[in-house]
Amino acid sequence: MRVLWLTSSYPRHPTDSASVFLRHLAQALSREGIDVHVLAPDHPTVEPAASPVPLHTFRYAFPRRRQKLAYGAGILPNLRRSPWLHAQIPGFVAALAWAAWRLSHRLRPDLLHAHWILPQGAIATLLGNRLHLPVVITAHGGDAFSLNGRLLGGLKRWTLRHADAWTSNTRTTAAATGSPVAPTVIPMGVDWRRFARADPIPLSEAGDSPIVLFVGRLVEKKGVADLLTAFASLPPSLNARLWIVGDGSERQRLEDWARRLGIAARTRFFGRIPNEALPAYYAAAEVFVAPSVIDRRGDTEGQGVVLLEAMASGTAIVANRVGGIGEVIEDGITGLLAPAGDPAALSGKLAQALNDAALRRRLARRAREKARAYDWPVIARRFAGFYRTLVPAPQCYYSGKNFP
């Protein structure tokens, strides 16, 4: 079976972390016998030849260096930071639609799979209707929790209603779309063995202090400002250090806030780290923290792939109960949950975890076992089986029956 993916984000080169979970899923599906082709936006740093699955790109602005709508912090954060990028949206949509049309005729896929509802899902739905191809759409979170005005909200619901099927990573993400059509819930996954077997980074980096680790984009919905406030409230006797791995539009503001709180000497901003290097950081930490909140546009965490990485690593987890996090982490069983937007409560949960080594070990052990259900081979088999319900085997392998 050949499947053409439409996405607005995909790793541009081997060490890129942009939506790296999609690359892992594509590779796992390939091992299940699915011939995956990916269509993603062009970028000056993209290296299609280095992709482990066929990667096709489309240009949407000229000159090439002006293509700034996608990647980085993500399309929606990019638009908020640089409103002039709204001018690139029509070109982006038109270029994606044209490239998808051309690729469909060249590759003869059996199925179209759009990641994120808008614009990929809408384009795939229209194209699939024209070419009589089944269409699957996956909602990952940001597309479900935001874009909820009358026009865009209506377009999202129309798209999901007219696709052949859709999936979401959690039930919370599904409910946020407002779609009356029920999805199949299939989460994103994790490379369980790679994270479970990692050695920590050298002690010269970690020192003797217990490490509290955050991994993610530095954007409003990740709640790092609340994390800094919570960390500053921890008892000095804990002697903890905070590691922040990731980059984004809020980095300078967050570094300034750490200085104002008086914790800059105990807080390190690492910036972007290649995904392949992340297991060592999880392995070095006593506690991983996911302080996500609901941002001003209503966006929040759909699932939290970093939670799966921490779970597989055997790192105790403290997180805010928001979005789909409560479907991944069971409070008191596989982690500790605090109410979102409450730095004092988050600080209390961090102190509880840091003060109790037995609790950390118990939470980490149960979380690591639960993470096995999210291993990529398990998730890929679920997606492959889902694809096959939409494309019966005798009709598979791009027979060209739907094409002129």
280-324 residue pLDDT tens? 999 999 999 999 999 998 999 999 999 999 999 999 999 999 999
Q: Spell out the alpha helix ranges (H) of 46-170.
A: 75-81, 89-107, 122-131, 142-145, 150-162
pLDDT value for 111 = 98
Residue 398: is its pLDDT beyond 70? no
Residue 205: is its pLDDT beyond 90? no
For tokens 């750490």, name the residue: 258
Q: Tokens representing 264?
A: 């800059």
The listed CATH number (1.10.10.10, 3.30.2090.10, 3.50.50.60, 3.40.50.2000) that belongs to domain 192-373: 3.40.50.2000
Q: 0.95 exceeded by the pTM?
A: no
pLDDT tier for residue 80 given thresholds of 50, 70 and 90: confident
Phi (first) and psi of residue 154, to 5 degrees: -65, -40
What is the strand order of the sheet 287-290 is part of? Answer: 267-271, 241-245, 211-215, 287-290, 316-321, 336-339
82-115 residue pLDDT tens? 999 999 999 999 999 999 999 999 999 999 999 9
Task: Cis check for the bond before 63: say yes or no (omega within 30 of 0).
Answer: yes
User: Using an 8 Å Cβ cutoff, are 81 and 249 in contact?
Assistant: yes
N-terminal to C-terminal alpha carbon distance within the chain: 20
2-189+375-395 with 192-373: one CATH topology?
yes
* DSSP assignment letter at 121: I
Q: Domain 2-189+375-395 belongs to what architecture?
A: 3-Layer(aba) Sandwich (3.40)
44-54 residue pLDDT tens? 999 999 999 99
Q: Which residues pair with 269 in a beta bridge?
A: 244
Better pLDDT: 145 or 394: 145
Question: Domain limits of the chain?
Answer: 2-189+375-395, 192-373
Q: Which residues pair with 242 in a beta bridge?
A: 212, 267
